[in-house]
Chains A and B, each alone.
Chain A
Amino acid sequence: MTALSLERVTHAFGGRTALDGFSLTVAPGQVTALVGLNGAGKTTALRALTGRLHPERGTVRVLGHDPSRLPRAVAARFGHVVGGPLVQPELTVTENLWCAALLHGLPRRRAAEAAHEAVDRLGLAPWRDARARALSAGNHQRLGIACATLHHPAAVVLDEPTSALNPQGVVLVRGLVRDLADRGAAVLVSSHHLDEVARVAAEVVVLHAGRDVGRLEPGDAGTGGCGGASIEQRFFAMVLDADTGRAA
């Protein structure tokens, strides 16, 4: 049983291919990372998974359903942040979380509880009454992740979840992702931070020019004594091989 799947998905924007027969599966309880250079197709893959984009070819499934037509009960078990999060700048942190909880289908009373739990879980307590527009980029990103996960989803898609975070925020989000997976959620994250994804993901998929060009071993992150140098080298070697193979 896979919770998130892309099967031979192909999509192009104009004449430029964004995904070229790309396949990926994430099982419940598993954290998978999608890494690649800018324009590799990561965000296109994630947008297809959230139903925002209909790929030209291929099949996309979230918890067994087409993400563009998720039944309500299934959608209530799905969370995602791809691009802009479910955050309104005029609302306070707590209000944003309460609104997100309601829109995720939680009952009114439970929504208030979930909002307070999420404030504590993501370290947002000092800003609980601050308007979202007044937050720093890092706290805004934490709020967006909190809004997408406060209903304890069974499948989660996060695009660059630590891109604006300080080390403390990175640790908080890493803990959240691990906690979600421990509870049985399938988590797919995209990132440029190879050493960071290697710490949290069981599987690291390298996407290049819209194609799956291989897997990185997460254990490589700590080897070589220079924190992530090895995984970076393997990543670039993989990308170079893919380019060389295509050119040949």
Chain B
Amino acid sequence: MIRAALRVEALRLRRSPAAVLAAVLLTALVPAASVGAVTLARSPHVAAPTAAKLAPYATGDLATTHLTVCAQVLGVAALIAGGFVVAAAFGRELETGTAGAFFALATPRATIALARCVVAALWLAACVVLTVLLTVALSAVATAGGGSGLWREAGRAVVCGLLGVGLSLPFAGVATLTRSRLATVGALLGVVALTQVVVLLGGGAWFPYAAPSLWAGLGGPAAAATVGAPHLLLSAAVGPAGAAAVVAGWHRLTDV
């Protein structure tokens, strides 16, 4: 039954405007932002406030810095894109009541929910990998070639993006609980804002939503040094835990 559900969900996702939009935005905006931010940081014509903000990117190997920025942006961008995708995928049918059609089917609701999580995660993971590859390609066009740290930073960007994808899966649970796409997007934005506050207050390594960005250097080198494998593993565990909660929620679903 999981095969049937995976086939159906794969077709649905390919046709989903939210999924297509997320893919386009991730693969177009993140590479452009990564290369653009570094170009701005190294431009003699940039205004002083902007130069101050982009100072961390003003030095070092050019291509490696492109990928460092990519890692920092992608962790948050994948979370937001994934949050919108699962809000649309899980929220619409519950909001409109059409999820009632999934009751008393040969393919159980829980199997459909699992397939939906798997397909969304794979789709977003493919987008993350493609985004990093496009950033490497765009960087290669803009530079004569990468330094020794290029592929290490590219790997970090992929890990940050994949962690962001996993961190978005619990919002499928929020959509199931609230039966509202708008409430789910509100919760997503709330968590992103909370993460900013946690990072600003100097915490965050044990906060799963902050750990990837901190590890990518968004909080500076000192904060990045506080993030180790246990923190990243905790962050990585959020995705499977979120998917398991969604599957259980769909299994127990009633009054639709």
The answer to whether A90 and B97 touch across the interface, beta carbons within 8 angstroms, is no
Query: Which residues of the other chain, A, contact B103 by a CB distance below 8 angstroms?
Result: 50-52, 67-68, 80
In the complex, residue of chain B having the shortest beta-carbon distance to the beta carbon of A81: B101
Of the candidates A53, A84, A108, A148, which one forms a contact with B93 in the assembled complex, judged by CB atoms under 8 Å apart? A84
Given contacts A53-B255, A84-B93, A84-B100, contact A90 B106 (CB under 8 A): no
- Are B12 and A90 in contact, with the CB atoms below 8 A? yes
CB atoms of A84 and B96 under 8 A apart: yes
| Residues in B neighbouring A86, C-beta threshold 8 A | 101-102, 105
Give per-residue flags for A64-108: 1 if the beta carbon is below 8 A from chain B beta carbons, else 0.
000110101101101011111111101100010001001111001
Question: B16, B98, B254: which contacts A53 (Cβ < 8 A)?
Answer: B254
Docked Cα-Cα span, A88 to B7, in Å, equals: 14
**In the complex, A99→B11 CA distance in Å?**
9
Q: Say whether A104 contacts B15, CB under 8 Å.
A: no
B5: A residues at CB distance < 8 A: 102-103
Q: Which of B98, B102, B108, B255 has the most CB of A within 10 A?
A: B98
B4 touches A102 (CB 8 A): yes
Contact A47 B15 (CB under 8 A): no
C-alpha spacing A136/B5, complex, angstroms: 28
Cβ–Cβ contact B255 & A103, under 8 A: no
Contact digits for B6-33, partner A, Cβ 8 Å, 1 yes 0 no = 0110011001110000000000000000
In the assembled complex, B48 has its CB within 8 A of some CB on chain A: no
A16–chain B nearest beta-carbon distance, Å? 15
- Contact check, A47 vs B100: say whether CB atoms are below 8 A apart: yes
The closest CB in chain A to the CB of B107 belongs to A103
CB pair B256 A105 closer than 8 Å: no
Q: Any chain A CB within 8 A of the CB of B112?
A: yes
Is residue B1 within 8 Å, beta carbon to beta carbon, of the partner chain?
yes
Interface pair B97/A91, CB less than 8 Å apart: no
A85 to B102, CA, bound (A): 9
Does A62 reach chain B (CB closer than 8 Å)? Answer: yes
CB-CB nearest in chain A for B16: A90
Q: Indicate whether A142 reaches chain B with its CB closer than 8 angstroms.
A: no
CA gap between A67 and B107 in the complex, in Å: 14
Task: Give the one of A52, A70, A73, A148 with max B CB within 10 A.
Answer: A52
- Which of A50, A87, A91, A102 has the most chain B CB atoms inside 10 A of its CB? A102
A99→B8 contact, CB < 8 A: yes
Minimum CB–CB distance for A213 against chain B, Å = 26
Is A42 at the interface (CB under 8 A from chain B)? no
* B-side interface size class: 20 to 34
If A53-B254, A95-B11 touch, does A75 touch B100 (CB 8 Å cutoff)? no
Chain A 130-172 per-residue mask, 1 if CB under 8 angstroms from chain B, else 0: 0000000000000000011000000000000000000000000
B12 near A83 with CB under 8 A, answer no
Q: Does A208 contact B (CB under 8 A)?
A: no
Q: Are B106 and A75 in contact (CB under 8 A)?
A: yes
Contact A72:B106 (CB < 8 A) given known A84-B97, A84-B98, A99-B8: yes
Answer whether residue A54 sits at the interface, using C-beta atoms and an 8 A cutoff: yes
Q: Which residues of B contact A52 (CB under 8 A)?
A: 100, 103, 254-256
- Supposing A52-B100, A67-B104, A85-B98 touch, asked if A72 and B1 sit within 8 A by C-beta, the answer is yes
Chain B residues, Cβ within 8 Å of A70: 104
Contact (A90, B8) CB under 8 Å given A53-B255, A82-B100, A84-B96: no
The minimal Cβ–Cβ distance linking B244 to chain A, given in whole angstroms, is 21
Question: How many whole Å from A182's CB to the nearest CB in chain B?
Answer: 23
CA distance A99 to B15 in the complex (A): 13
- Name 20 A/B residue pairs within 8 A (Cβ), A-sorted: A50-B103, A52-B100, A53-B255, A53-B256, A68-B254, A70-B104, A72-B1, A72-B106, A72-B108, A75-B105, A78-B104, A80-B104, A81-B101, A84-B101, A86-B105, A90-B15, A91-B11, A91-B12, A91-B15, A103-B112
Question: Which are the 3 A-B pairs with shortest beta-carbon distances?
Answer: A84-B98, A105-B106, A90-B15
Further 18 A-B residue pairs, CB within 8 A, beyond A54-B255, A105-B4: A52-B255, A62-B104, A76-B106, A83-B97, A84-B93, A84-B101, A85-B98, A87-B101, A88-B15, A90-B15, A91-B15, A102-B8, A102-B107, A103-B105, A103-B106, A104-B105, A105-B107, A108-B4
